[in-house]
Amino acid sequence: MNKQNKIVNHIKSYAVTYLFIALSIFFIVVSGLDLNYVASQLLLRLNRNAFIVLALIIPIVAGMGINFSITIGAMAAQIGLLLTISWGVTGLPGILLAGAITLPLASLFGFLIGKLLNKMKGQETIGSLILGYFANGAYQLLFLFIFGTFIPLSDKVTIVGASGVQNTLNLTGSVGLYKALDGILQIPFSMIAYIIAGVVAVLSVVLFVRKKLTTQKLVLAIVGAALVVCVLQIPFVSGLFSGAGGRQMIRVPVVTWLLIACLCVFNTLIMRTRLGQKFRAVGQSQTVANAAGINVDKTRVIAIVISTVLAGWGQIVFMQSDGIGTFQTYAAHEQVGLYAGAAILVGGASIDRATNLQALVGTFLFHSLFITAQSAASNLFGDSAVGEYFRAFLSYGVIAIALVIYAWRGAKKTKTGGLDLTKVEKN
């Protein structure tokens, strides 16, 4: 009975995820795309987008909903990138410089966002969305009229004979920022899989010997690792990743993956610190947190600052990654919040809880649909434009559904017919 309940609950809270898994499989089949192509695109996009999606977790835990103002973090990163290109710093130093510029800028912006969101508690999701739009105006002002006229930049990025920054900046060639992280060390996918399996097996044995792991879990870990190795021996599977038969050899950019892994570890570790406990306390109930002596407003500001800075770095990871190559100066940040928000919700996160795994799974599923939607729609309806629109619908729709489910649950909980009594103020 108890177990059955658990399963029902699990399916209930992950309904969106299972729906998307089904949709993904359906789309991959219908699209008729080569699996090798899908796999390579998926890995590429996972490595491009995971960092930004992971940046959303802390504000969710702190009870601030989906932080759509991560677009502002992306803007900070783009200012950093612009200056880096203008100063002509290339390669890894260039990326590091851009990251270094992003840090103070994004912290400042994050601080301001946090202050503002504290004035609209309960409306953070919409507030951060509109704040993103507002900041976009300021960003356009900065790039169109202030850069190049008041802040001197090199000819490489400005338009000669007019004010403002060029529409598109190239990151390849002499600019040297393209694949500055991705290109450092690239290892075939199967090799990475073997290494991870090996590490997991060795680590679990070590932990078992130190008596930090039960026998059951040890067996599970070793069997899992062995399974991965075995599956990779199947010619069909290994064919997917190796370059056999004129297909593309799938390689993994190790440095970027390490960065993503570090962020996952950071997200986990910070929850174990005092600050992390504060985040969770504030997220569960601001009144209780306040009574426990936690400075609620300050905690929320810190959460947003961290998220904004991480999103900025995520945008740098995105811009340098394989297959981008150009920097759309005025538009690169626009869809960042939408896609990241949709991705984390697809992974089963909700407005008030999220984990690393959900973020990664969500990115994976969301982008698998993204890759296949066009071909699938063109096969189903005879029109590839439908696929484009379907992608937009997915992004917005999944956010709408998540918001509705969350509000529905909240309304059921209060049992006042959904009327939130505290909302009715005296004015």
Partner 1 sequence: MSQVQKKKHSPRIFVAIFLYALAAVLILVSIFGFYLRGAGTTTKNLNSMRTQAVLHSASGGLVDSIANQARADKLKELRSRSDFRTLGLDQVNATCDAAASAARAEAEAIYSNATVNDSTGLENSINAFEKALSVYGGLREKERAIYSDLYVTLVENVPDWTDLVDAAEGDDDKLFSSLSSWASSLALSEHAHLKSGFVKLAHAMAEKEQTADDAELLGQLTSSLTRTISDWTTLSGMDDDSLWTALCSEIEGFSENERFRSNLLQTAKKYISAAEKGEVISEEVKDSGAATVYDTVTDYSFFTASDEMSAASEGVESAYQELWSELTEIIPDLANLDKKMQKNIRTTLENTVWPGDTDFSTRFTAYAAQKGDGILSGTDAFMMRLSSLARNILIAGIALLLLATLLMFWKTLTDRFGIPRTIITLFFIYLCLAAILYDISVPMMLSNVMIRMGMYGILVLAMMPGIQCGIGLNMGMTIGCIAGLLGVVLSLQFDLVGWHGLIFACVSGALISLPLGWAYSKLLNRMKGNEMTISTYVGFSFVALMCIGWMMLPFNNPKIIWLLSGHGLRVTHSLLGSYAHLLDEFLSFEILGVEVPTGLLLFLLFCCLLMWLFSRSRTGIAMTAVGSNPRFAEASGISVNKMRTIGTVLSTMIAAVGIVIYSQAFGYAQLYTAPRQLGFIAASAILIGGATVRKAKVSHVIFGVFLFEGVLVLGQQIANAAVAGGGLSEVMRIMISNGIILYALTQTGGASRE
Residues that bind partner 1 in the complex, under the rule CB under 8 A = 32-34, 37, 116, 119-123, 125-127, 129-131, 133-134, 136-138, 140-141, 144-145, 162-164, 246-248, 285-287, 374-375, 378-379, 381-386, 388-390, 392-393, 395-397, 399-400, 403-404, 406-408, 410-411, 418-425, 427
Nearest residue (CB) to partner 1, 217 versus 409:
409
CB of residue 129 to partner 1, shortest distance in Å: 7
**Which amino acid, one-letter code, is at 256?**
T
Nearest residue (CB) to partner 1, 25 versus 120:
120
Residue 378 CA to residue 10 CA, distance in Å, equals 35
Nearest residue (CB) to partner 1, 272 versus 382:
382
Nearest residue (CB) to partner 1, 117 versus 316:
117
Nearest residue (CB) to partner 1, 247 versus 353:
247
**Cβ contacts of residue 170 below 8 Å, gap of 6+?**
325, 326, 327
Instruction: Assign 151 to helix, strand or coil.
Output: strand
Nearest residue (CB) to partner 1, 209 versus 400:
400
CB of residue 124 to partner 1, shortest distance in Å: 8
Nearest residue (CB) to partner 1, 156 versus 247:
247
CB of residue 288 to partner 1, shortest distance in Å: 9
Q: Is the dihedral of CA 340, 342, 346, 349 positive or negative?
A: positive
Are 226 and 219 in contact by the 8 Å Cβ rule? The answer is no
Using CB atoms within 10 A of its CB, is residue 150 exposed (0-12), middle (13-18) or buried (19+)? exposed
Are 47 and 283 in contact by the 8 Å Cβ rule? The answer is no
**Cβ contacts of residue 197 below 8 Å, gap of 6+?**
224, 225, 226, 228, 229
Q: Mutual orientation of helices 2-13 and 15-31 as an angle, nearest 10°? A: 60
Instruction: Assign 186 to helix, strand or coil.
Output: strand
CB of residue 201 to partner 1, shortest distance in Å: 36
CB of residue 164 to partner 1, shortest distance in Å: 7
CB of residue 29 to partner 1, shortest distance in Å: 14
**Looking at residue 271, what DSSP letter applies?**
T
Exposure pattern of 360-391 as b/e (b: 16+ CB <10 Å)? bbbbbbbbbbbbbbbbbbbbeeeeeebbeebb
CB of residue 309 to partner 1, shortest distance in Å: 22
Nearest residue (CB) to partner 1, 155 versus 420:
420
CB of residue 345 to partner 1, shortest distance in Å: 11
